[in-house]
Amino acid sequence: MNTFPWITLITLIPLGGAVVIALAGRKPSGGTRSLALVFSLIPGLFALLLASKFEQSVGSARPMAFGPDPSVMQFVERHAWIPTLGVDYHVGLDGLGLSMVLLTSFVIPFAIAATRGIKTGQGAYFALMLTIQGALYGAFTSMNFFHWFIFWELSLIPAYFLVRLWGGTDRRRAANQFFVYTMVGSIALLLAMVAVFLVSGTFDFAALSSAAARGDITRNLESKLGWLSVFSNGKGLGLFVFCLALLGFAIKVPLFPFHTWLPLTYTQAPTSTTMVLTGVLSKLGLYGMLRILMPVYKEQAAQLAAPLLVLACATILLSTLAALSQKDLKTILAYSSINHLGYCLLGIFALATTRQTPGQGMEDSVVMLFNGVSLQMFNHGVIASSLFCFVGFLESRPEGCPNLVNSGGLRKRAPVLAGLMGVALFASLGLPGLSGFVGEFLIFKGTFGLAAWAAALCTLGLLLSALFHLNIIQKVFCGPLKEPWLKFSDLTTEEWVTVLPAIALLFMLGFWPQLLVGITRHFKGF
């Protein structure tokens, strides 16, 4: 199983499908979406095959620090590419990477199946969606920064065109804002990693992690980059380089105050594009923090752990306050997405408080945090894409998408829609028995062991989050049915079949989180 280039195949299938769809889409055809769905599902089936062959016992005999451990990487492919730069084509999967590959394999076909209202340029639209899928596979499996960064950028460019060409009335401003923010972050990240390459001579993630653990990167920054005389020592330069790298990932997630591009982009993008943006592209930033930022800059992250935790708390609390003040359903869900990604940031920055391999007292908190963040990343992808899928179904009705002012009583006309969307909303607010609860519980329990003040402060975010989720249910689905919605139609067979797998996952991971934890575990006893 490990000798066959499965990862390369999974990455190339959607990219090849994008070419086929783009060429076939030049001719008018009603089967463009179906063909795109096939090309998106095939690598997903291979990903499930890899998951079934994944050896969960590998690497579980001892605690593992941040960073890719070569001893636990599976399905590894490594070939010389640019030897003069120390660049290999190096891909592989551990539990974290596999969970994100599985998430990509779910969200992209889900978004393609849920696509509505694309009347022109269907071939180009679905080709761009498949390009994002291939780029995400490449990014989640890359073990070398050089080609990881290629896939990172490749995932952003199609997203820009999806918003710019098929978005709403203010799509130009939304796309430009998205492009400027993400490009600034990408440039900052590239500069940071080039600086690290100059002092380490490698782009390989495992080698960089080992060098950082020995203190070589911080120690060599000043001696090898001494021309930056504005810094009096290597530690000051290390903090500056860390902040550059952090900016790239913070914009992508996003972290307050770099979040202002998100609400406009999510509301103006086609709903199926928003499903991809919130369901899986936002996880690329969190994944980068776990795979690159924390292993390579662990010392600097520990030094700035307190202010980083403050920013995570601000991300959680301020986004809920913003959601409570909104009336547009799509905008509320955009701020809800920021709120739930903030819990992942809280867990990651709490992990940064551990300066070295923790003792037994802290190890339990670290284990819970890592598993909690991994679960929350996956669960948020399913929950958020499901909620925006329902918004897309609402938008496809002749009456348009309701808001918190002009609607009410829709459960009388659409009980199936109200029930299934209610399940997704309850999963989003963290109801026990649904997938959103387990990840948040582990994050808070782990954070209390490492940064109790941050966990205590952010519990207020849980309360405020419940308020705006229940407000949606009350204002949209309950109460008297108003005049504009008297002929509102329930979900069609195609629509509820589209969303049913996501609803099933919400229950499955709520009652059986070990299904995913068994993959992502990296610690003794898990």
DSSP states along 204-244? BHHHHHHHHHHTHHHHHHHHHSTT-TTSSSHHHHHHHHHHH
Give the closest residue to 239 by CA, choosing from 308, 183, 180, 187. Answer: 308
End-to-end CA distance of the chain: give it in Å, rounded: 24
Amino acid at 330: K
Q: Cα angle at 423 between 420 and 426, to 5 degrees?
A: 150
What tens digit of pLDDT does each residue of 460-486 get?
A: 999 999 998 998 998 888 888 877 788
**What's the predicted TM-score (pTM) here?**
0.91
* Burial label, 253 (beta-carbon count in 10 A; 0-12, 13-18, 19+): buried
Q: Which two tokens stand for residue 203?
A: 């782009």
What tens digit of pLDDT does each residue of 56-99 get?
A: 765 543 444 455 555 578 888 898 888 887 788 899 998 899 99
Given this model, what pLDDT does residue 289 score? 93
Given this model, what pLDDT does residue 217 score? 79
Specify whether the CB–CB gap between 245 and 189 falls below 8 A. Answer: yes
pLDDT at 355 over 80: no
- Classify 470 as helix, strand or coil: helix
Given this model, what pLDDT does residue 521 score? 66
Task: Give the Cα separation of 354 and 366 in Å (integer).
Answer: 9
Q: Which two tokens stand for residue 367?
A: 């284990």
Region 163-184 average pLDDT: 91
Given this model, what pLDDT does residue 61 score? 39
Q: Which two tokens stand for residue 302?
A: 């520990």
Place of tokens 């992209």: 108
Task: Give the Cα separation of 264 and 260 in Å (integer).
Answer: 8
Residue 510 Cα distances to 55, 137, 441, 498, angstroms? 24, 26, 12, 20
pLDDT at 363 over 90: no
- Classify 432 as helix, strand or coil: coil
What tens digit of pLDDT does each residue of 391-444 get?
A: 998 888 877 787 787 888 888 888 999 999 999 999 999 899 999 899 999 999
Domain boundaries in the chain? 304-526
Region 166-195 average pLDDT: 91
Given this model, what pLDDT does residue 233 score? 54
Task: Give the Cα separation of 308 and 389 in Å (integer).
Answer: 33
Per DSSP, the chain holds a count of helices (H) and strands (E) of: 23, 2
In 293-414, which residue ranges form alpha helices assigned H by DSSP? 294-296, 298-303, 305-324, 329-351, 360-395, 410-413
The enclosing H or E element of 74 equals strand 74-82
The total number of residues shown for the chain amounts to: 526
Mean pLDDT score of the chain = 86
What tens digit of pLDDT does each residue of 98-154 get?
A: 999 999 999 999 999 999 878 888 889 999 999 999 999 999 999 999 889 999 999
Given this model, what pLDDT does residue 488 score? 83
Structure-model confidence comparison of residues 347 and 29, the more confident one: 347
pLDDT at 39 over 50: yes
Task: Give the Cα separation of 447 and 350 in Å (integer).
Answer: 6
What tens digit of pLDDT does each residue of 182-238 get?
A: 999 999 999 999 888 888 888 888 888 888 888 777 777 766 665 555 555 556 788
pLDDT at 26 over 70: no
pLDDT at 353 over 90: no
| pLDDT confidence bin for 524, thresholds 50/70/90 | very low
Given this model, what pLDDT does residue 359 score? 53
The enclosing H or E element of 159 equals helix 145-166
Residues 6 or more apart in contact with residue 27 via CB below 8 angstroms: none
Residue 46 Cα distances to 41, 53, 230, angstroms? 9, 11, 51
